[in-house]
A and B are shown apart, each in its own frame.
Chain A
Amino acid sequence: MKELAKDPYNIIITGVGGQGNVTASRMLAGMLVSKGYSVTIGETFGASQRGGSVMSHVRVSKQGAWSPQIPKGKADLVVSLEPSEAVKVLAVYGNPNTQSLSNDRPIYPVRVIAGDDRYPDMDEIRATIEGLTSRSFMIPATGEALKLGNPVFQNVIMIGAVGGMDVLPITGEDFRAELGRKMSKDKAAVNLKAYEIGKSLVRG
């Protein structure tokens, strides 16, 4: 993708507090700003980070700042670090053209851990996501991150997968440049590897 598919292009990155939403949204936004786009990010942190659902709304535009909250039904892409959170976000912000990318590893809410509530079957989650999107992927980002030695790489794997979906004007080169700006050299190699893994997971 050379240009934005629409303006503003609306991305929601979601997950559970502590999964690294903020880092993921900042990294993606950094790549887009360096390419001359205006990016508006809306996010919540603080209390909601303590085991609650978290969202970053990322809006990419050539025109300037937009509302830090995306209106209902206006997400173009939903990136979810946790499968049930993808459903939660699509149920409010999705529309028939929305695409989604989700990690396949559940984080159980405390009420599920305690046995007071039920976590849906993965097949049920998949079917619900498919019913609300025009194109969707579910990838083992945490599993692949563990193979790289640390679950924290799941975020970069997800960003790599976004790159692989070819929905945004970003390339592996842009990611390399972003790493150069934000990270020390010794950390860059493994992150680049994580990015490529993510990309290959959606390109099959």
Chain B
Amino acid sequence: MSDLLDTTEGAQHLFMGNESIARGALEAGVSVAAGYPGTPSSEIIERLAGIAGKRNLYVEWAVNEKVATEIAAAASFSGLRSICTMKQNGIHVASDFLLHLTGTGVRGGMVVAVCEDPGALSSQNEADARFFAKMLEVPLIEPGDFQEAKDMLKWAVELSEELKTFIIFRSVTRMSHASGNVRIGKLPDTKPAAYYNCKGPLLDFATGPMITGPGAVGFARTVQQGRLKRAIELFETSPFNSYAGPEKPELLVVTSSACSLYSKEAVDIMGIGDRVGILKLGTTWPLPPNLVKSRLASTEKVLVVEEPQDFMEENLKILAAECVTEVGAKTFFGKKSGHIPSQGELSPDLVVSALKTILAVAYEPVPQDYAARMFSAMFKTPGRELTFCPGCPHRASFLSIHNALALDDRDGFVCGDVGCYGIGVLPAGFSTVKTNFSMGSGLGLATGFGKLTQFGMTQPVLAVCGDSTFFHAVMPALVDAVHHKADVTLVVLDNSGTAMTGFQPHPGLTKDAMGFTSPPIDIEAVCRAMGAEVAVSDPFDVPATEKTLLTMIKKPGAKVVILRQICALSPEKRAKKKYDMSVDSSLCIGEECGCNRMCTRILRCPGIFWDSENKTAKIDEVICAGCGVCASICPSGAIRKAEVA
């Protein structure tokens, strides 16, 4: 049985932060969970979906983050407890609905869990979701370790129900994707009964219609601001705000989330616990003024340790200014002073370096002679550029797109968006992708480019998108392209799943998140219904795909080419080779061939490498996934494929 369903109160499990959040949702009696996959948030919905049947939950991978929040809100309006999840970009997608939702508030507890990726380890941008809490006037909480990830999620649901507003619960990669021991609590015996009461009068959000409108704005905001005032009262005594250190520290570190662990570690390894106090805040908006004031009064210097932006630092400075007559003027250190970097992920080392400067403490992690050896070792190994996995259909797709554009010879280019196929900007994707923005933006931009013929634009424009992205945000752009007769070719890289984030199902597939059979939405039929001409090809058939692409690129108007081949890492395909590949070294004539070592220098698949001693290409049988693409591009016929029995 899944550890998530363990009923032994007090038992300890090693939980990933996201599993801890999922367990917190269960302990809170959440009935409905919805989200859109995005690193580092995906495992929350994944884990809840896996046990949905056993706890009578409804869990879905929504088509996008805005719809996910709407699914969660409907449950809340009907008296159920709910959660919706997303990565940092997701709250930007969902924010229009969330802005409206502050106008009514909620009924059943509802938590918006945003898992951010400071340092953009698996993202195209950093974004600090905490500013949304201030902008939308809703409470914000941030767990500081794995135990709190569970405990605070449960509390957030209860708090939401008490205050009648949704709560933003903010996590980060080093919390969501890190793991630690978690002591579990009680799983409640819930008997949810859903009923949407809308019989009451207008503007009575407990019994009446949930609506926002011009006449209700002032009233609604007053109510919401009252909820925030009540939140402040509760936050003043919250056990999730804690202080450790001397009563009158020389320096007060104010921190939250994973940064509180970095701060603790830095103080610990530098051995300066008698000089530095750490105020770890779990309730970061609105700040509890009395608690903060009492700590400010105990020191002259304050260092704010947070990522990726200076959200707390700004708000602390405002608070400090407001109470300057009570606590005296303070010197603040942080991002503004340059002691903490203003971009990227923080680490214990970055906190160490801030503390070294502020307190003039000497600290070196290793002896000097060892540090010199470390330095020289750094240059002894080659770097690793991102690439497509061995057997990835995208490598083959981009090869064909690249070749088709070269044959077409009109300086054509590709607009991309979010997903593994973003690697199309690198040599691994033959550098074919020339714009790369948000979900669905490839086609939106391509449509814009495709309307510039009246200004003399002659370059053919392609857009690429994944199958999950197609549903998330490409469909409206395709409507725009067809309706406005933009000259554009959309290439759907259909690898049968949301591959980048771990094969979450999407509306094009026959199973939903919980494993139930669902009617698939046929991408091809949708495109045809919109009025686009559609062609379908298998990217592993390189010559046919190239030909199809070339034909479609040359046609006017909006066209769609669906390149369909399952992701090499998908559970159905993983570790199952279609072909055993080999190189006949008597036929591979290497540099003499004139192919410019197409298989290794151009294709750059990790499964085939150049054996410089024997001057021949060679298959690495541990890495090769047996897709057969290299055999179809070798002009000497030296690469052989034998079907695996």
User: CB distance B370 to A96 under 8 Å?
Assistant: yes
Q: Which of B14, B177, B266, B575 contacts A39 (CB 8 A)?
A: B14
* CB nearest to A74 among chain B residues: B365
Are A40 and B500 closer than 8 Å at their CB atoms?
Answer: no
Residues of A within 8 A of B262 (CB): 67, 69
Does residue A52 face the partner (Cβ distance < 8 Å to B)?
yes
Counting chain A residues whose Cβ lies within 8 A of the other chain, the interface size class is: 35 or more
Chain B positions within 8 Å of A40 at CB level: 146, 178-180
Instruction: Give min CB distance, A45 to chain B, whole Å.
Output: 7
CA distance A39 to B296 in the complex (A): 34
Whether, in the assembled complex, B111 has its beta carbon less than 8 Å from a beta carbon of chain A, the answer is no
Question: By the criterion CB–CB under 8 Å, are B385 and A111 in contact?
Answer: yes
Q: Within 8 Å CB of A42, what residues of B? A: 174, 177-178
From A84-92, A160-168, A184-192, the one touching the partner chain is A84-92
1/0 per residue, CB under 8 A from B, across A47-83: the answer is 1101111000000000011111111111000000000
Instruction: Please tell me if A18 contacts chain B, counting CB pairs below 8 Å.
Output: yes
**B376-388 to A contact mask, C-beta < 8 Å, 1/0:** 0110111111111
- Chain B residue with the shortest CB-CB distance to A57: B178
Knowing A39-B179, A42-B174, A50-B387, the reply to whether A114 touches B601 (Cβ < 8 A) is: yes
> Min CB distance, A193 to chain B, in Å?
19
Min CB gap B615→A, angstroms: 12
Q: Cβ of B365 and Cβ of A132 under 8 Å apart?
A: no
Q: Which residue of A lies closest to B375 (CB)?
A: A91
Is the C-beta of B347 less than 8 angstroms from some C-beta in chain A?
yes
Residues from chain B with a CB closer than 8 A to the CB of A65 are 145-147, 180-181, 261
| B106 touches A (CB below 8 Å) | no
Q: By the criterion CB–CB under 8 Å, are B122 and A110 in contact?
A: no
B residues near A71, Cβ cutoff 8 Å = 265-266, 269, 347-349, 352, 365
| Closest Cβ–Cβ distance, residue A11 to chain B (whole Å) | 13
Contact A47 B122 (CB under 8 A): yes
Chain A positions within 8 Å of B377 at CB level? 87, 90-91, 128, 131-132
In contact, A110 and B348 (Cβ under 8 angstroms): no
CB contact list, A87-105 vs B, under 8 A: 87-88, 90-92, 94-96, 105
Instruction: Indicate whether B537 reaches chain A with its CB closer than 8 angstroms.
Output: no
Task: State A113–B603 Cα separation when bound (angstroms).
Answer: 10
Which of A42, A46, A107, A112 has the most B CB atoms < 10 Å from its CB? A46
Q: Across the interface, which residues of A come within 8 angstroms of B266, CB to CB?
A: 71
Instruction: Tell which of B160-168, B555-563, B605-613 binds the partner.
Output: B605-613
Residue of B nearest to A120 (CB): B380
Q: Does A124 contact B (CB under 8 A)?
A: yes
Q: Is the CB of A33 within 8 A of B597?
A: no
> Nearest-CB distance from B90 to chain A (Å)?
15
Whole-angstrom distance between the Cβ of B177 and the nearest chain A Cβ: 6
Does B173 lie at the interface of the complex (its beta carbon under 8 Å from any beta carbon of A)?
yes
Q: How far is the CB of A119 from chain B (nearest CB, A)?
A: 6
Chain A residue with minimal CB distance to B420? A50
Which residues between 123 and 152 of chain B lie within 8 Å of chain A, taking CB atoms? Answer: 123, 145-147
Q: For residue A38, which residue of chain B has the nearest CB?
A: B181
Q: Which chain A residue has the least Cβ–Cβ distance from B378? A: A91
Chain B interface residue bracket vs A: 35 or more
Report the separation of the CA atoms of residues A48 and B612 in the bound assembly, to the nearest whole angstrom.
28
Q: How far is the CA of A45 from the CA of B374 in the complex (A)?
A: 26
**A114 neighbours in B (Cβ, 8 Å):** 427, 600-601, 604, 610
Q: In the complex, which residues of chain A have a beta carbon less than 8 angstroms from the beta carbon of B367?
A: 96
Q: Is the CB of B365 within 8 A of A47?
A: no
Partner of B178, one of A41, A94, A109: A41
Query: Does chain B have a CB within 8 A of A108?
Result: yes
A33-B12 in contact given A71-B347, A111-B383 (Cβ < 8 Å): yes
Interface contact B386-A88, CB-CB below 8 Å: no
Which of A44, A72, A115, A125 contacts B121 (CB under 8 A)? A44
Do A132 and B380 have beta carbons less than 8 Å apart? no
Residues on the A chain within 8 Å of B147, using CB: 65
Residues of chain A with a CB closer than 8 A to B370's CB: 94-96, 132
> Within the complex, which residue of B265, B387, B600 is in contact with A66, where a contact is CB–CB below 8 Å?
B265
- Return A28 CB to nearest CB of chain B, in Å: 11
**A108 in contact with B606 given A132-B373, A151-B622 (CB within 8 Å):** yes
**Nearest A-chain residue to B392, judged by Cβ:** A50
With CB as the reference atom, state the residue of chain A lying closest to B346.
A69
Closest 8 pairs (CB-CB, A-B)? A46-B122, A73-B365, A68-B178, A46-B39, A51-B387, A91-B377, A84-B381, A67-B265
Q: Residues on B close to A: CB < 8 A?
A: 12-14, 39-40, 121-123, 145-147, 173-175, 177-181, 258, 261-262, 264-266, 269, 347-349, 352, 365-367, 370, 373-375, 377-378, 380-389, 420, 423, 427-428, 500-501, 569, 575, 597, 600-601, 604-606, 608-610, 612, 620, 622-623
Q: Can you offer 11 A-B residue contacts whose CB atoms are under 8 A?
A: A29-B179, A39-B14, A42-B177, A42-B178, A47-B122, A50-B387, A51-B384, A67-B262, A71-B348, A113-B600, A132-B370
